[in-house]
Chains A and B, each alone.
Chain A
Amino acid sequence: KAGVTQTPRYLIKTRGQQVTLSCSPISGHRSVSWYQQTPGQGLQFLFEYFSETQRNKGNFPGRFSGRQFSNSRSEMNVSTLELGDSALYLCASSLALAGGETQYFGPGTRLLVL
């Protein structure tokens, strides 16, 4: 099976712009979660989608949003970018049959905000 894929892999934006990141889960996986990884804060949960519905949301401002499509692919959007949004954004998918299952991570999208 192909692993989790994320596009683009690298992105440079300027403050005030918006950005959309994409994640394709492993075939058959229904849950997609997003994480932000920074040197200072480590890995922080952004949100989780299951069957096109947001099930969990982390402690991030409303500028961070996401959605999931019927084929389980997911996108996350960050509006009005700030310098502090520079980070590695990881997507993870799981079967989500019973909760607390193994998460399979993508390679990440590295976002640099100038």
Chain B
Amino acid sequence: DTAVSQTPKYLVTQMGNDKSIKCEQNLGHDTMYWYKQDSKKFLKIMFSYNNKELIINETVPNRFSPKSPDKAHLNLHINSLELGDSAVYFCASSPTSGWYNEQFFGPGTRLTVL
């Protein structure tokens, strides 16, 4: 199936640990994104990559480090996890970097930090 996929779907971990979330899209898109959805469902952009190049970094703590090995993959590594990092993280992709293009979202990764 053509889609945006994320692994894992659920991630439960202790404060202070380091974890990664992986994202892959097989839609042939050039641009990928990470969004964070908090407990009140509010969604906010974290990062955007276009052809493996970082385009947007929205006031995110430097404990969060995205990595794009190729344009089909955008992974998110989080160091020294904190309670406030608990959220649902969504990966998305779009055909080009154009502002008029819809973004296709993955199913989300629910991160719980204990």
Decide whether A and B are members of one complex. Answer: no
Interface residues of B (CB under 8 A from A): none
A interface residues, Cβ below 8 angstroms from B: none
